[in-house]
Chain A
Amino acid sequence: MNDEATTVVADLEAGIGTLTRLDAAAVDATVVVVEPTLRSIDVARRAIAVADEQRQGRVVVVANKVSDDDDRARIDEAFEDRVLIVVPEDPAIDVADRLGLSPVDHEPQAPAVAALESLVDALGLASV
């Protein structure tokens, strides 16, 4: 884990239990994934508060399944002061999930895949 040449992407357990148990400053960046539902936004806000308090690096919010202006407004209002990536609702993701495939293999050009790939830049990793 201390190998600087390796980039570790840790998909934590659902919820923020694991995040609360991590040592302070254990990671260099925290990606908070949220859906445009009030309940998901609530969880994301709590996760951001924990990440900030525990100094878990740069926080980037990924808003998934954004389908219309109402969704967008809800997300913008909740995370206006954050680095935010908006991922459109995309049937390609649903189909990949149904088939158990990676969206990157199923439909590499899908809008949601392109939006998620921009996370590399948002994390400041474009040069790796």
Chain B
Amino acid sequence: MEEPMPLADSSSMMRVAFVGKGGAGKSTIAGTFARLLARRGQPVLALDSDPMPGMPYALGVAVDDCPIPDDVVVSGGEGEPRWVLRSDLDAAAIVDRYAAEGPDGVRYLQFGNLWGHVVRLQKAQHAWSQVVAELDRDQWHLVGDLPGGTRQAMFGWARYADTVCLVVESTVKSMHTAARLLTLSQAKWGPSSLVLVVNKACDDSDAARICERLELPAAAVVPHDPEAGRGDRRGAAPLDAAPDGALAHAVDALVDRVVSLYSFGEEVAG
């Protein structure tokens, strides 16, 4: 088993995507990760491509329904995508106008949600992918939350990422999904940028079982945190419900681990 190595081209900011089975805790960890990174004085843009967004809860953003409106795109011309951003808008302007402001200075951009009809969702998807493609690499660290499962994860939605965090809990189903995501993602991401995060660990054997099955070392083991769990039930972000809890500490260690993959790591290390 190979330890993650620093990325070759890692001078610009981090682009991290969280994937895994639904319910494994992607949004929870991604949202917490974004805030803890922002607390280190870093500019963080949280990107939510889940049509059932869970990140607002995990971040503690007051508004949970804030999709990019569909009138930001117009029909594309010959040789262009079906929908393209309006000429008076660019990625920076979209973030400026539509990304919600969250705690610790995190900005939160939601691509669309399931209320939309298929056409509207398509518009939002086109807008979202253009925004992500055009964003200035030196302006924001991107922390992305993908929908659960394997459908969206590897069909272009995680293309922006240079680090993929695979979130796994200790159930056979979660490991199944993770094994699949791992196979799919190895085509694009080398072992150095695939980061395994064990979530809801009850004891050491949980992490050991997952690592053995996936043949990957765990970059972070996030213990089961009852206080954060109770917060989740009433809609409170883990960092607000249990600011000094086991989950917060483990995710902070994950931030350390991920920044260490980048050449600017030392400046951001906690």
Contact = CB atoms under 8 A, between A and B. Distances in A.
Interface of A: 13-17, 20-21, 36-39, 42-43, 46, 70-71, 74, 94, 97-100
B232 A17 contact: no
SS of A interface (majority): helix
SS of B interface (majority): loop
Contact of B57 (A21, A38, A97): A38
18 contacts: A13-B149, A14-B148, A15-B114, A16-B52, A17-B51, A38-B57, A38-B234, A38-B235, A39-B57, A39-B64, A39-B235, A70-B233, A74-B233, A74-B234, A97-B172, A97-B173, A100-B172, A100-B173
Contacts of B170: 98
B64 A42 contact: yes
A18 to B, nearest CB: 11
Interface residues of B, number: 21
B151 interface: yes
A36 B233 contact: yes
Contacts of B144: none
B69 interface: no
Nearest to A19: B114
A29 to B, nearest CB: 21
Contacts of B172: 97-100
Query: Which 10 pairs across A and B sit closest by C-beta, in order of nearness?
Result: A100-B172, A38-B235, A97-B171, A14-B22, A39-B57, A37-B233, A15-B52, A43-B52, A14-B148, A37-B232
Contacts of A43: 52
A16 B57 CA distance: 19
Contacts of A21: 118
B147 A15 contact: yes
A24 B162 CA distance: 42
A5 to B, nearest CB: 31
Interface in B193-248: 232-235
Nearest to A100: B172
Nearest to A94: B171
B167 to A, nearest CB: 15
A13 B151 contact: yes
B125 to A, nearest CB: 13
Given A42-B64, A97-B171, A97-B173, A16 B114 contact: yes
A104 to B, nearest CB: 16
A42 B51 CA distance: 12
A99 B148 CA distance: 21
B115 interface: yes
Contact of A17 (B57, B64, B114): B114
B54 interface: yes
B158 to A, nearest CB: 17
Given A15-B51, A97-B172, A46 B114 contact: yes
